[in-house]
Amino acid sequence: IKLIYRNIERKTIELFVHSSSRPTPCPYSVFEPMIHHLDKIITSSKKLHGLPEAELVTFMDIEHKLDSLPVIKHTAAHLNSLKVNESLSQLYVYVESFRLHTKWLKTAQVNVSVPFQAAEGASNHLEQLSDLTKKFLEKIGEQVPQTASPSLPVVSTAFEALRFSVEISDRLQVFCHWSKRILRQLQRRSPCPKH
């Protein structure tokens, strides 16, 4: 009986050592792929309207019509008081909103026969960014926020599509640059071992 017990005990110890030798993936490692998608979104967002910088000036005084677009109002001081759960939950809400707006823009551009590839690219990367953010929140035991579909206008002319694409492009770039700063800051404070 003692021999059987020792054999079982030895196998249990060996199994424990074998399983514990595998490092648990750090949830914060997902931040790098998230930043990669943000870079891709920035590239696509600059092409949403297809206008050179000189022509964008003509749209500066045009009233913004998309009240449903997220407005980023954080300051540099906000970076010093970041909380992972709150920051990533807010990021998820923003990403979902921009994803729905770019998806809507692509449909609008198709309907008025203007190039839609940039909107499609931005929408695809936003969808992947949304999935990564959702998985991170689930890994840290945080509830994934519920999001609602925005009420968006009907686009009937190419000029309307252009005006909305300029507005989305501007807001989306601000969001992406700010989100990269947040993720970099959280990376530096990550409890995961540095390689």
CA distance linking residue 73 with residue 94, whole number of Å: 12
Share of the chain above pLDDT 90, in %: 62
Sequence spans of domains, the chain: 26-188
Any idea what DSSP says for residue 141?
Answer: T
Amino acid 23: pLDDT: 60
Amino acid 72: pLDDT: 82
- Express each pLDDT in 146-190 by its tens digit: 999 999 999 999 999 999 999 999 999 999 999 999 999 998 887
Confidence category of residue 65, pLDDT binned at 50, 70, 90: confident
Amino acid 57: pLDDT: 75
Fold of 26-188: Growth Hormone; Chain: A; (1.20.1250)
pTM for this prediction = 0.82
CA distance linking residue 60 with residue 52, whole number of Å: 14
At 80, list the tokens: 């010093």
Instruction: Kindly list the distances between the CA atom of residue 191 and the CA atoms of 21, 22, 186, 188, in Å, as whole numbers in the listed order.
Output: 19, 18, 10, 9
168, HSE (Cβ side, Cα atoms, 13 Å): 32
For the chain, the average pLDDT equals: 85
Amino acid 37: pLDDT: 98
